[in-house]
Amino acid sequence: MPRKPTLLAREARAGLLEQIESLPQNTCLQPLGMLGGKFHLHPSTIFRLLRDMAAEGLVWQSPTGKFFSVSARRNTLRGASVCFIGREMWNWSRLYQEILEGVSEVCSANASPLILLSSRSLVRQEAAAVAPEFASPRSQAADLANLAAAVPRGCAGFLFDHLWSEKALGKTKWHGGERIQLLHGTGRHAGVLSPDYSACAKMAAGFATEHGMKKIALVIPFEGDPAIDIALRELRLAFASFSPAEFHYTEIACDDCSLRKLACRSDLLVCPEDNVAGELANRISLLPAKQRPVLFGTQGTGVLHAPNIRLRIDYRRLGRAAASRILHGVACSPLRPSLVDASAAGDFKR
């Protein structure tokens, strides 16, 4: 059970708030030792109070560890670097390309260098039909420790690939500002910016209901990617009343006979990963028109095209929001999807 603040701590908190409000522009608070002497508390207690106040948005802690008023953040971080730590560039999906384009836009406007640090082993995938290989938490922790040592001092903040595990992030010490994990995370060791996966799933289920579709199949592209796993979880919840069938794409990737059987049994195929959805769409297009089920892609990158149905999520906006949160303290809610190409549904068999 948390301890109740002592009278001295409550008085110190009130006094710190007064000092913050009266600080000259871009001036930091006095050193912890001096503040501790003023409020008759140990410097570590003062630090804990300021850290809690920073979590509440009442004060801002810069990458140097000093505490400023929240309004000082924008000017203080002018030109400070932002670091993305993730997979190697040639493993970037269209999704990560869009995110980092958005990050780059904000960094450029702030004269902030964007530093890219990558792990060779975080993920390996030869093709959409081949299940990716993900690094173990132990291997991730070793990689992050090496990458952290390469980060320059004074970094404004860090953006992490969603594949980094909670265990690996928790073991690594970072010298710098705010930490944000993209697309998915627990929130324990970094803030999280992600699409609204529940809204995506409900929009797909709403589409099926609106068009009278009853035979639903969920495409499982692969397992082990936390963002894909949570998208599948939300799809299962949204489509629970349909009792959807499920199949792993790798099982039919090179089996046209199995694909034809699946197509004959399904009104709607729902896929939460766009590269797999794109490959599946190409194969479905070779079937006779009357045998083609509707293919619905929910990841939202724009890889999938008409006559297939897809969601669209503005991942550039997510990237801009992540960089703005680090550099300017701007809050952002989960991104909601929009439905694209729904009018094409009439061209498919029922």
Residues 184-226: tens digit of each pLDDT? 988 888 889 999 999 999 999 999 999 999 999 999 998 889 9
When the pLDDT of each residue in the chain is averaged and rounded to a whole number, the result is 85
Cα–Cα distance, 193 to 159 (Å, whole number): 10
104 or 57, greater pLDDT: 104
| Residue that has been written with the tokens 């560039």 in this structure | 89
The candidate with the shortest Cα–Cα distance to 232, out of 241, 94, 223, is 223
- For 211-221, write each residue's pLDDT tens digit: 999 999 999 99
Q: What is the pLDDT of residue 273?
A: 92
What's the topology of domain 197-314+336-347? Rossmann fold (3.40.50)
CATH code for the structural domain at 7-74: 1.10.10.10
For the question of whether the overall pTM of this predicted structure is more than 0.75, the answer is: yes
What's the topology of domain 79-195+317-328? Rossmann fold (3.40.50)
Q: What is the pLDDT of residue 100?
A: 94
**Tokens describing residue 234:** 């939300």
Mean pLDDT (whole number) for 54-83: 75
**Tokens describing residue 256:** 């046209």
50-59, 116-125, 229-238: least confidently modelled range: 50-59
Q: What is the pLDDT of residue 75?
A: 67
* pLDDT over 70 (residue 117): yes
Q: What would the DSSP string read from start to end of 267-283?
A: SEEEES-HHHHHHHHHH
Mean pLDDT (whole number) for 122-126: 84
Farthest-apart Cα atoms in the chain, separation: 81
Q: Sketch the domain layout of the chain as residue ranges.
A: 7-74, 79-195+317-328, 197-314+336-347
Q: Please provide residue 346's backbone torsions phi and psi, each rounded to the nearest 5 degrees.
A: -65, -15
Are 7-74 and 79-195+317-328 in the same CATH fold?
no
Q: How confident is the model at residue 349 (pLDDT cuts 50, 70, 90)?
A: very low
Q: What would the DSSP string read from start to end of 289-301?
A: GGGPPEEEE-S-S
Q: Which helix (H) or strand (E) holds 350?
A: none
